Amino acid sequence: MHLPWSLKAGACMKNPDNHAQAAPAGGVKSADPCSAIIFGASGDLTKRKLIPSLYNLAVANYLSKDFALVGFARPPMTHQEFRDKLDKEVKLYAGRSVDQTIWAWFLDRIYYQAGEFSDPAAYQALKTLLIEVEERHKTQGNRLYYLATLPSFFGTVVEQLGVAGLVEEGGQTWRRVIIEKPFGHDLDSARALNRDISKVLAERQIYRIDHYLGKETVQNLMALRFGNGIFEPIWNRRYIDHVEITVAEELGVEQRGPYYEEAGALRDMVPNHILQLIAVTAMEPPISFDADAVRDEKHKVLKAITPMTPQEVLQRAVRGQYGEGMVADTLVSSYRKEDRVAPTSSVETYVALKLFVDNWRWAKVPFYLRTGKRLPKRMTEIVIQFHRPPLLLFKQSGVEQLDPNVLVIRIQPNEGVTLTFGAKIPGPKMELGSVNMDFNYSDNFGIQTSTGYETLLYDCMIGDATPFQRADMLEAGWAVVQPILDVWKALPPRDFPNYSAGTCGPKDADTLVERDGKHWRNLD
């Protein structure tokens, strides 16, 4: 089961020497002793997310005191140079003031190995270093390999780890590999990658990460649905009119032009993050929180999403690309003028889809989803809209329309849940207004400092694969988007750019929902 993530005051490791004795908040045990080996240690993910998350785990005493970290990347660096680099970066990315005592403890167990990802000699050098480090820090031979490299190296690194004998387990010793996204480029390449890595690793050793599953509110969705008596009985097509999922970003592609030119919004966000949000929203209650019990139910949802025919793709899939526009009072350039993006690029930065989960719970309930860059604001939410109540009773009192109940699950920012319902406006007449019942995470549980990766790293260190993707889930996700990729490849867009930066996306996305008599929730 996941970490009850609480990095609040009081959960702090004040004295690193007491690290083993101090119990983490909430009675959760510290992770197993282990070394974490990060491939791609000179890159962005390492400095922005992985090091701050591991540091946060240390602060909250969730990291074992018998821990070490080895960075592996191409640039030549000594251990000390790598430590100095992280020392500068942590201040920028930790999101909190850095406790010098804990950070010094952490830095002291960091090492570096330079090498090419395809060079067997580099893995032999890594092996020698690991033996030394494991001896010094008593990590008991447990290893967490984190593949934070370019996706094209995932297969190579796993293969080389196998050749060097670095992933063999024995007795109580575990060897686990976290693989970043994107896992494959389409259905065929995802299958091929699964096939290749399964030659070296058992499925239980593979942790395919999707950082959305580390987000507190996504995890809370299971608590909301299955830990309360009032939601589950009405969580179906009899009561729910439609589900709307929005993952909106204010940012553009920033420095990631080359990656994004290969990926586009559909590959970047849908087969992973958004389908995981649908899976958690639509799954049946699992029989336990065991990794496979939960993942079996999510897999069933993904398999129940009917892949679109080419004709349906034309009707139910919308793509867009941003042009120049105003974001937060600043004029920003079009996608085609971003760094290292082709001036005639036909890559989409916006996607809207209408999907169906064709099972007894959800048949005929549309799942509308949209995601895009350079939208008016950053906002991720899941909206459950219930059927509109019949009007007859109120019509006689002059009420012209009854608003449906809406349950909004805010993933970010302002994490929380809001239920909207109708209430009588005080006065002699029967008039109804919409009012909200609101739960805000920060009001109830305080502000939490977390990157979303902490809980995932911790889960991997204790061997809980629940929030990680299994091979079959991943392939089921790609099977949903493959028909869209095929049609879009065959028919390049003719109207790009078709929305201005800072606006809510292309007109066709509005038409997609308006055809069904609905409208998107306001993004402005």
What does the binding site for ligand BG6 look like in residue numbers (CB under 6 A)?
Answer: 181, 249, 268, 380
Does residue 113 sit in helix, strand or coil?
strand
- Length of the chain in residues, anyone? 524
Shortest distance, position 329 Cβ to ligand BG6, whole Å: 22
Q: In this complex, which beta carbon is closest to ligand BG6, that of residue 137 or of residue 181?
A: 181
Q: Which of 508, 510, 502, 507 is nearest to 252 (CA)?
A: 502
Decide if 349 contacts 365 (C-beta within 8 A): no
Q: In this complex, which beta carbon is closest to ligand BG6, that of residue 249 or of residue 338?
A: 249
Q: In this complex, which beta carbon is closest to ligand BG6, that of residue 166 or of residue 279?
A: 279
Q: Please confirm whether the linkage preceding 467 is cis (ω < 30° from 0).
A: no
Shortest distance, position 45 Cβ to ligand BG6, whole Å: 10
Question: Tokens representing 35?
Answer: 């070394």
Dihedral sign from CA coordinates of 443, 445, 450, 456? negative
- CA–CA separation, 31 vs 20, rounded Å? 11
Shortest distance, position 274 Cβ to ligand BG6, whole Å: 10
Shortest distance, position 440 Cβ to ligand BG6, whole Å: 19
Query: For residue 168, with 0-12 CB atoms within 10 Å meaning exposed, 13-18 middle and 19 or more buried, which class applies?
Result: exposed
In angstroms, the Cα distances linking 309 to 162, 384, 441, 489 are 41, 26, 41, 15
Taking the mean position of all CA atoms in its chain, how far away is CA 84? 30
19 is catalytic: no
Shortest distance, position 115 Cβ to ligand BG6, whole Å: 26
Q: In this complex, which beta carbon is closest to ligand BG6, that of residue 85 or of residue 181?
A: 181
Pairing of strands 143-147, 34-39: parallel
Active-site residue identified among 137, 211, 242, 273: 273
- Sequence-ordered alpha helix ranges (H) in 108-153: 120-137
Shortest distance, position 181 Cβ to ligand BG6, whole Å: 6
Q: In this complex, which beta carbon is closest to ligand BG6, that of residue 246 or of residue 380?
A: 380
Expressed in angstroms, the distance from the first to the final Cα of the chain is: 37
Q: In this complex, which beta carbon is closest to ligand BG6, that of residue 24 or of residue 264?
A: 264
Convert 326-381 into a string of H (helix), E (strand) and C (coil). Answer: EECCEEECCHHHCCCCCCCCCCCCEEEEEEEECCCCCCCCEEEEEEECCCCCCEEE
Decide if 361 contacts 282 (C-beta within 8 A): yes
Shortest distance, position 39 Cβ to ligand BG6, whole Å: 18
Residue nearest to ligand BG6 (CB): 268
The residues, ordered by sequence, that sit 6+ positions from 255 with a Cβ below 8 Å of its Cβ are 339
Which residue in this structure is represented by tokens 């996204």?
181
Shortest distance, position 149 Cβ to ligand BG6, whole Å: 15
- CA–CA separation, 506 vs 498, rounded Å? 6
Q: In this complex, which beta carbon is closest to ligand BG6, that of residue 181 or of residue 354?
A: 181
- CA–CA separation, 496 vs 493, rounded Å? 6
The set of catalytic residues is: 273
